[in-house]
Amino acid sequence: MLLDRYEILSELGRGGFGTVYKARQLATGQSVAIKVLHGLRGLGDEDQQRHIARFQREMRLCGQLHHPNIVRLIDSGVLDDGRVYTAFEYVPGQTLAKLLAEGGALAPTEARHLMLQTLDALSCAHSIGVVHRDLKPHNIMVVATGARRNALVLDFGLATLVDDSQFKKNYATLTGAHEVLGTPAYSAPEQLRGLAATPSSDLFSWALVFLECLTGVRPVRGRTMQEIIFQQLGPHPIPMPSALRAHPLGRILARLLSKDPEARQVKSGKLLREIDACDLKGLQLPVAVPERASTGPEQKDQPSEEKDVSTHTAMPQVGLTAPKPVEGAHSPQLEDKRHWHTALCCTLNLTPKSKDGFDLEESDECIQLGQQVCIEVGRSFSGSLGSILGDQVLLYFGLEARDPEHAQNAAYAALELIQELRRRSARAPAHKRESLEVRASLHSGPTVAHRAGLLGTVPRIAAQLSTRAPPGRILVSADTAQLLRASFILELEGEHGPASSSSQTFWLKSQQGHRANEPVNGGP
């Protein structure tokens, strides 16, 4: 029993901060879905209050949403032990995620029907300044209570308010600095960069879900969460079957899947009319997205999202990804070709601030933050993610575009990484027990890229060098130093092995014209 008002019947799902139950309301006998916030043990008082406040805000926001394709809020309150709960109408159906997993791609007309209903529900929320922020197949229920199946949108728990919302003055901003909410595989790039979510962010997520309905395959996939984030932040367009890309519907989705949020500015009413007017007869799509999307055994390594209720995290896994071709190019242009590139190996280093030592959960959170910073900074200097192994991140420069300034870009990225992590550590709450720094190393050399991955000793040597660098320092091989002397200040670290120029290593101090350890703003 729950508060003598509900009889708990079964558990429907469980996530990082909440559990959803199926229950029966005793007063009316109707079935309800009850979400109870939990899992706050180990969080500081400030974090606990933020999560509780976000949960309470969900019920207030949902109380303002009245639409036939949005699940209705019934009740809310606080349990005897201080946990908060909300009760929604129970929807007798299945999630869109389960429907696609069991049956594959939907017929184009069926996909359009469900997604137009979802879009109309979003339009209702956007009209009062509410952004869903976590739209994905798991948050869309498909019900068959009438002559055809219909869609209902769930879980506005991660919703935020746009700046001009009529409710803005009534609700505090509850997302902490640099906190990324939502599910990376469906999040707009600006959300992953920590910027404010807007209605155009929801449209990006909506277009990804629509594309998945048409193909039966998740458009953005990877072996680790970091790979997924890198794809979302990268310059390449979301892969789309050629038959769809050439169709009016595909052109609409491509516009909504732009990495630039300004390109997605469109009124929901106009968008509904455009999609409704598309002639879908004869639109034949393959069951899987071609081009760069991965298939096969990799799918079993993806982070599970079936039961999530809040923010996703994932432990990194071992893996070396083959280089992704520039849009419009094909892999044979890169395969079996030997060319020079530079590897930047970043080894994240945690130091306890007090005699209390490390906190396991906090340490894992710090390492994941460091991994994300490495990916973001590397991308800003034209780098490619090679692999992530625990506290070590490997980035490649000059691999895809064969940039002749690959070593310089890698050096700029290494200097910026150290400064950015120092800035983040300086802004960390006082109660944090660890400080985060990075040991970095650079090595340049030839590599052969083909379907099997990368061949050559460059990543191995870079990884070995990073273990010798103290926190906050950048160790450079002689091969890379030759490419950096004109633009950077280098200091001889030592010689290893027989005396020769190739056995020397150097400390990267700063860019020419900057004092050592002075922040280098901007790029090359």
Contacts 24+ apart (CB under 8 A), 290-299: 290/239, 290/241, 290/242, 291/239, 292/236, 292/239, 292/324, 292/325, 293/217, 293/219, 293/221, 293/239, 294/221, 294/222, 295/217, 298/221, 298/223, 299/221
Q: Can you give the pLDDT at residue 154?
A: 87
pLDDT (tens digit per residue) in 362-372? 677 778 788 88
DSSP 379-406: HHTTEEEEEEETTEEEEEESSSS--TTH
pLDDT (mean) for 262-280: 90
In the structure, what pLDDT confidence band is assigned to residue 513 with cuts at 50, 70 and 90? Answer: low
pLDDT (tens digit per residue) in 154-177? 877 656 555 555 555 455 445 444
Cα angle for residues 241, 212, 281 (degrees, 5° grid): 60
Q: Can you give the pLDDT at residue 317?
A: 27
Q: Can you give the pLDDT at residue 236?
A: 83
pLDDT (tens digit per residue) in 124-138? 999 988 888 889 999
pLDDT (tens digit per residue) in 484-496? 988 899 999 865 5
Q: Which candidate, 147, 71, 150, places its Cα nearest to that of 110?
A: 150
SS3 category, 297 = helix
pLDDT (tens digit per residue) in 446-498? 876 544 445 678 888 998 898 888 888 999 999 999 999 888 999 998 655 44
Domain boundaries, the chain: 6-89, 93-301, 331-511
The amino acid present at 417, given as its one-letter code, is L
Handedness of CA 250, 142, 84, 308 (dihedral sign): negative
Distance CA 175, CA 166 (A): 19
Burial code (b: 16+ CB inside 10 Å, e: under 16) for 449-483 equals: beeeebebebbebbbebbeebebebbbbbbbbbeb
In the structure, what pLDDT confidence band is assigned to residue 82 with cuts at 50, 70 and 90? Answer: confident
pLDDT (mean) for 170-195: 67
Cα angle for residues 54, 128, 185 (degrees, 5° grid): 55
Q: Which of 167-176, 302-311, 339-348 has the lowest mean pLDDT?
A: 302-311
Q: Can you give the pLDDT at residue 225?
A: 72
pLDDT exceeds cutoff 60 at 273: yes
Distance CA 73, CA 63 (A): 6
Distance CA 456, CA 145 (A): 59
| Greater model confidence, 416 or 517 | 416
Mean pLDDT score across all residues of the chain: 77
Most distant CA atoms of the chain, gap in Å: 86
What's domain 6-89's superfamily in CATH? Phosphorylase Kinase; domain 1 (3.30.200.20)
pLDDT (mean) for 205-212: 96
pLDDT exceeds cutoff 90 at 30: yes
pLDDT (tens digit per residue) in 418-437? 988 888 777 766 556 677 88
The amino acid present at 209, given as its one-letter code, is V
Distance CA 455, CA 446 (A): 9
Active-site entry in 4, 47, 120, 134: 134
pLDDT exceeds cutoff 60 at 179: no
Q: Can you give the pLDDT at residue 100?
A: 93
Residue where the block lists tokens 């309150």: 77
In the structure, what pLDDT confidence band is assigned to residue 70 with cuts at 50, 70 and 90? Answer: very high
Instruction: Examine the residue annotation and report whether 134 is marked as an active-site residue of this protein.
Output: yes
Q: Can you give the pLDDT at residue 301?
A: 32
Residues of the chain above pLDDT 70, percent: 72
pLDDT (tens digit per residue) in 353-389? 666 655 666 677 778 788 888 888 888 888 888 877 7
pLDDT exceeds cutoff 80 at 151: yes
Q: Which of 26-30, 141-145, 182-186 has the lowest mean pLDDT?
A: 182-186
Distance CA 117, CA 98 (A): 18
CATH topology of domain 93-301: Transferase(Phosphotransferase); domain 1 (1.10.510)
Tokens of 100: 């696609």
| Greater model confidence, 351 or 171 | 351
Q: Which candidate, 266, 183, 255, places its Cα nearest to that of 218?
A: 183
Q: Can you give the pLDDT at residue 118?
A: 97
Q: Can you give the pLDDT at residue 195?
A: 76
Q: Can you give the pLDDT at residue 307?
A: 37
Angle between helix axes 225-233 and 360-380 (nearest 10 degrees) is 30
Q: Can you give the pLDDT at residue 326?
A: 31
Q: Which of 38-52, 137-151, 289-303 has the lowest mean pLDDT?
A: 289-303
pLDDT exceeds cutoff 70 at 187: yes
Question: What's the N-to-C CA distance of the chain in angstroms?
Answer: 64
Tokens of 315: 């432990």
pLDDT exceeds cutoff 70 at 330: no
Q: Can you give the pLDDT at residue 519?
A: 42
Distance CA 361, CA 326 (A): 38
Domain 331-511 in this protein, CATH class: alpha beta
Q: Can you give the pLDDT at residue 14?
A: 78
